[in-house]
C-alpha cells in the first residue's frame, strides 16, 4: 500500500513539474511585451516617461534577465512557496491576491458539486434501474447535448433569461455594491443570491456527466451474478437497487467526482467571466489581458495543485474502498 502511494506521488510530482514548464512558457508565447504594458500603466499613473524609470522597472521585476534565469528563479520561488508580486496590483503579493479571490471560486464550485452529485447519483440509479424508459432515454439525449455546450454559453443564456428579461437574479458581482450588512446572515444571503446563477450553470454542466457515470456503472453491476442471486432470494426491488447495486456502483462515482473537482475549478474561469464574478477566474482573465505574468502563473499553479491533490485523494479513496488495489500495492 505504501509502495502504491509512493509510486503515485512520484508520478504526480513529474506531472506537476511538466505543468510548471507549460505555465512558465504559456504567457511568454502570447503576443505583446509585458514590460510595455507595465511601464505604460505605471507612467500614466505617476506622469513620468524617463528612460531611467523604464530601466528601474525592468530591473525591479527581473525582465532584464534571460529566459533561463527567469525559469530557474520561477522554479525556486514556486517550491519555496513564493509566487511573486503582482504587476497589475503592485505591490500586493500574488499569493495574497489569490487568497482574496479563491473563497469566492470555492463557494460556487463546492455548492455546484454538492447539487450535481446529489441529483446525479439518484437520477443515475433510477435511469439504470428503468433502462430503456423515458427517464433513461431523456438522460442520454440531454447528456450528449450538454457535453457539446460550452459552460460560458450556458452562463450567457441563463444570464440573458433570468437576469435581463426576467430579472430574478443580479447581472453580476458577488455582493451588492455599497450595501451595509446588519448581520452575518444578511451577508451570507446576499452572497448566495449573487452566486445562484453561477452555481446553477456549473451544476447543469456537470449534472448530466455525473448521472451518466452513475447510470453506466449501475448497468454493469446489474448484470453481475450477485444481483441475480438477490433477485432469486425474493428481495424487494428497492433493497436490490440501493443496498446491492448502488452500493457497489458508487466507487467509480466517488472517484470520478473527486477527479472532476479540479477540472471544475478551472472550468469556473469561463463562468466567472460571464457573470463578472470576482473569483480567481476573473483574476486570471484580467492577468492575461494585462500581461501580469506573476499573477497568471500563480493562479495556474494553485489550480494545478488543486487538480493534482483532488486526483491523489481519489486514488487514496479508491485504494481504501477497493481491496484489489491494496493487494496490488502490497506486492
Q: Which helix (H) or strand (E) holds 99?
A: helix 94-129
pLDDT (tens digit, 9 = 90+) per residue, 246-291?
777 777 777 777 767 766 777 777 888 888 888 888 888 888 777 7
Residue 36's pLDDT is 61
What's the pLDDT at 50? 53
Model pLDDT for residues 21-62, shown as the tens digit of each residue = 888 887 667 665 555 665 565 544 444 445 665 666 666 666
Instruction: Give the pLDDT confidence score for residue 47 in this predicted structure.
Output: 47
User: In the beta sheet, which residues pair with residue 93?
Assistant: 85
Query: Residue 273's pLDDT is what?
Result: 83
Question: Which residue positions in the chain have pLDDT lower than 70?
Answer: 1, 4, 27-28, 30-63, 259, 262-263, 318, 320-331
pLDDT of residue 35: 59
Contacts of 47 (CB under 8 A, 6+ apart): none
The dihedral of CA 127, 130, 136, 138: what is its sign? negative
State how far the alpha carbon of 331 is from the alpha carbons of 11, 69, 320, 323, 326, in Å: 18, 43, 16, 13, 9
Helix, strand, or coil (residue 187) = helix
Secondary structure letter of residue 179 according to DSSP? P
Task: Give pLDDT, residue 40.
Answer: 60
Start-to-end Cα distance in the chain:
8
H runs (alpha helix) in the chain: 2-29, 34-46, 51-60, 67-79, 94-129, 134-147, 151-159, 184-222, 225-232, 237-239, 247-275, 280-289, 293-321, 323-330
Per CATH, the number for 95-330 is 1.10.3720.10
Quote the pLDDT of residue 44. Answer: 45
67 touches 325 (CB < 8 A):
no
Sequence-separated (6 or more) residues with CB below 8 Å from residue 13: none
Give me the pLDDT at residue 31, please: 64
Per-domain boundaries in the chain: 2-79, 95-330
Give the start-end residues of each E strand in 34-157. Answer: none
Please return the burial class of 257, using the count of CB atoms within 10 Å of its CB with bins 0-12, 13-18 and 19+: buried
Amino acid at each position: 500500500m505504501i509502495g502504491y502511494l509512493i509510486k503515485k506521488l512520484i508520478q504526480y510530482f513529474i506531472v506537476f513539474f511538466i505543468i510548471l514548464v507549460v505555465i512558465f512558457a504559456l504567457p511568454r508565447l502570447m503576443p505583446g511585451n509585458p514590460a510595455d504594458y507595465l511601464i505604460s500603466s505605471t507612467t500614466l499613473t505617476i506622469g513620468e516617461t524617463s528612460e531611467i524609470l523604464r530601466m528601474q522597472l525592468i530591473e525591479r521585476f527581473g525582465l532584464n534577465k534571460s529566459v533561463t534565469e527567469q525559469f530557474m528563479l520561477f522554479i525556486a520561488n514556486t517550491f519555496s512557496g513564493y509566487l511573486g508580486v503582482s504587476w497589475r496590483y503592485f505591490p500586493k503579493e500574488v499569493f495574497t491576491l489569490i487568497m482574496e479571490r479563491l473563497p469566492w471560486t470555492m463557494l460556487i464550485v463546492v455548492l455546484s458539486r454538492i447539487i450535481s452529485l446529489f441529483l446525479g447519483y439518484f437520477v443515475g440509479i433510477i435511469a439504470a434501474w428503468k433502462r430503456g424508459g423515458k427517464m433513461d432515454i431523456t438522460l442520454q439525449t440531454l447528456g450528449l447535448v450538454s457535453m457539446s455546450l460550452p459552460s460560458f454559453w450556458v452562463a450567457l443564456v441563463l444570464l440573458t433569461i433570468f437576469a435581463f428579461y426576467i430579472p430574478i437574479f443580479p447581472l453580476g458581482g458577488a455582493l451588492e455594491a455599497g450595501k451595509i450588512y446588519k448581520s452575518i446572515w444578511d451577508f451570507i444571503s446576499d452572497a448566495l443570491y449573487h452566486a445562484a446563477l453561477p452555481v446553477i450553470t456549473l451544476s447543469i454542466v456537470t449534472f448530466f456527466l455525473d448521472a451518466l457515470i452513475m447510470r453506466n456503472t449501475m448497468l454493469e453491476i446489474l448484470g453481475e451474478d450477485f444481483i441475480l442471486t438477490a433477485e432469486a432470494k425474493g428481495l424487494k426491488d428497492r433493497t436490490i437497487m440501493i443496498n446491492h447495486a448502488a452500493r457497489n456502483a458508487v466507487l467509480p462515482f466517488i472517484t470520478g467526482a473527486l477527479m472532476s473537482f479540479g477540472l471544475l475549478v478551472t472550468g469556473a474561469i469561463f463562468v466567472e467571466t460571464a457573470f463578472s464574478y470576482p473569483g480567481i477566474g476573473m483574476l486570471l482573465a484580467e492577468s492575461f489581458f494585462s500581461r501580469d505574468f506573476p499573477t497568471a502563473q500563480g493562479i495556474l499553479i494553485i489550480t494545478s495543485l488543486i487538480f493534482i491533490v483532488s486526483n491523489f485523494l481519489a486514488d487514496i479513496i479508491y485504494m481504501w474502498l477497493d481491496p484489489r488495489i491494496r493487494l496490488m500495492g502490497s506486492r
